[in-house]
Each structure stands twice: as C-alpha cells, then as structure tokens.
Amino acid sequence: MNDAIRVRVPAKVNLRLAVGPLRPDGYHHLFTVFHAVGLHDEVTITQAEPGAGVTVRILGEGADSLPSGADNIAVRAAKLAAQRAGRSADVEIAITKAIPVAGGMAGGSADAAAVLVGCAALWPGTLSAGDLHALAADLGSDVAFLIEGGTMIGTGRGEILTPVLAQGEFHWVIAVSDMGLPTPQVYAELDRLRADLDVAEPAADDALLRALRIGDARALGRALSNDLQAAAVSLRPELARLLEAGADLGALGGIVSGSGPTCVFLARDREHALDIAVGLTTTGLVRAVRHAAGPVDGARVIA
C-alpha cells in the first residue's frame, strides 16, 4: 500500500447550462454540457496515524479564502470515502490550487473528485468505480464529471452523465475576476429574475452538439449558452463589459463560466488565445488571465 497519492484534476466549463424549474429537493433541473479544461489543481492524500482524523492544507490560488475544517468539501469527500471503504478517516490532504475559487469552474468539486480518486488508490480494492460515482453524487453536482473529464452531458442536477461525441481541441481564454460569486447566490438571483415566468424544462441544443461532433470551433462559439449568465451579470454588471471586451478582441464566443464570475472565451487556436489574453489584461476588468485547452482527462493519479 502506498502512503501518499498525488492526483491532478482539471477545471470545468459549462458549454451549455440550461436551468429548469426548481425541484422539490431544492435543486434545479439541469441540462448541461460539461467540458474539462487544462487548468489543474493538484491534491496529495497521505495516510496519517490512527486517530489523527482528516486534515487539509491549501496553497495557491485563493487559499486564504477557503475553509480548512469540516466545511471543506475535500474533507467531506475523505470522510465519505473512508466510511464506504471501511477504513478509519485518518488522512492528510494537501491542495495546491490553480482553479479560481468561487469562479464557476468547480474548483471545490475538483478537489473532492481528486480526494475520491486518491483514496481509492491509497486503499486498493476498497472503492469501486460505482462507489466513487455514488459518493460524488452525494457531494455535489459537478464532482462525478470531474472524475471522468472530457466532454459530457449532465442531467438531473448535473450528476447523471452521458458521453458526448466530440473531436478536436479547443483553446480557451479564462478571465478571472477579483471577487468570487457564491453559487447559491447566483441561483437565487436567477429565481428572482424569473419569478413571474413559466420556466420550461431544460433541453439540449442540437447546434452545440453538432459543433462538438465535427470539431467546429466557430460553430461552437456561436452556440455557447448559460442561463445563469443573466443572474451573474445582474450581481456583477462589470461582467457585461468583460464579455464585450472579449468579443471586441475577436473571440469566437464568450460566456460566464457556470455561476461566474470567471468568464471564458473561445479562440481559433493557441496563438489567437494568447492574443486575446494579452488584450484582456489591459482592460482593468480582470485579476488574472489564463490559457487552457480542452477537453482533458478528469482526476488522475500522477504519483
């Protein structure tokens, strides 16, 4: 048995996020197209002494703003994994973050996915793929996808996954804002904006799925959509200026990522992405700009 496992896990972008009516359990019906991009956190899970419990240490992007106790989703993941595996929950978790915190790219869910995969490797033979996906569904809507990676449809509240036929590589410019946007706040604002509307059940977008199937970046850029974008812009009006700036720089498409406030822009290729990134850094609207390609694999053991 290994004493320490290191896992690399990507961020996600929602190429389409259609939000339906509120469900009795408090979640919304969703139809989303997940896309894993090459902006990664690294998570190391180390076996601790009996009775030590679960501890977490966080470095890197937004580390000071994250809880390090029982409220951290990575801690919850370790405890659930240990319970399912019939082990004592005695592990040390070290997280080096590059995924924006509260940025709509599932940074917390990514870390939880990495912990599940890491615990399965740390305790061989105790956790099946089915176990991991059941635990992921308990932890959150994005966790199961970040175990898998690639490009997939998510339904239900996002945890029911179907592979998408896609080809080619897409280049993204990721514009990180100064402050996060809590996901519950964005959904609450969406509900407020739609309070007097008859909200339909979410559905697929054939144009987007066709663009992925043939690897057409221009068509994909035109088809990007996010029902949460209006709510995010309502809470952070400056996001509208950022999206406009990306369009002015020639992006094939731009969208608020998930619940925001991070925005992502689709470029023609790597060189075009770098040009857009340089242009966005001069706007004064972003804290940082990154380039990432997708799709990429989900959480994977690297050491």
Distance separating alpha carbons of residues 99 and 125, to the nearest angstrom: 30
Q: What is the pLDDT of residues 37-75, one digit of tens each?
A: 999 999 999 999 999 999 999 998 777 778 778 889 999
Distance separating alpha carbons of residues 21 and 30, to the nearest angstrom: 9
pLDDT at 101: 82
Please say whether the beta carbons of 190 and 230 come within 8 A. yes
Identify residue 105 by its one-letter amino acid code: M
Q: What is the pLDDT of residues 4-35, one digit of tens each?
A: 999 999 999 999 999 998 888 888 889 999 99
Q: Is 12 a catalytic residue?
A: yes
Q: Is 97 a catalytic residue?
A: no
Question: How wide is the angle at C-alpha 105 spanned by C-alphas 249 and 16, nearest 5°?
Answer: 70
pLDDT at 84: 97
The class (CATH top level) of 170-294 is alpha beta
Distance separating alpha carbons of residues 193 and 273, to the nearest angstrom: 33
Q: What is the pLDDT of residues 164-213, one digit of tens each?
A: 999 999 999 999 987 778 888 999 999 999 998 888 888 888 999 999 99
pLDDT bucket at 303, cuts 50 / 70 / 90: confident
Q: What is the pLDDT of residues 98-133, one digit of tens each?
A: 998 878 899 999 999 999 999 999 999 999 999 999
Catalytic residue among 3, 12, 196, 248: 12
Identify residue 238 by its one-letter amino acid code: E
pLDDT at 95: 96
Domain chopping of the chain, boundaries: 4-163, 170-294
pLDDT at 2: 61
Q: What is the pLDDT of residues 252-295, one digit of tens each?
A: 999 999 988 999 999 999 999 999 999 999 999 998 999 999 99
Annotation: CATH topology of 4-163: Ribosomal Protein S5; domain 2 (3.30.230)
Catalytic residue among 41, 97, 111, 142: 142
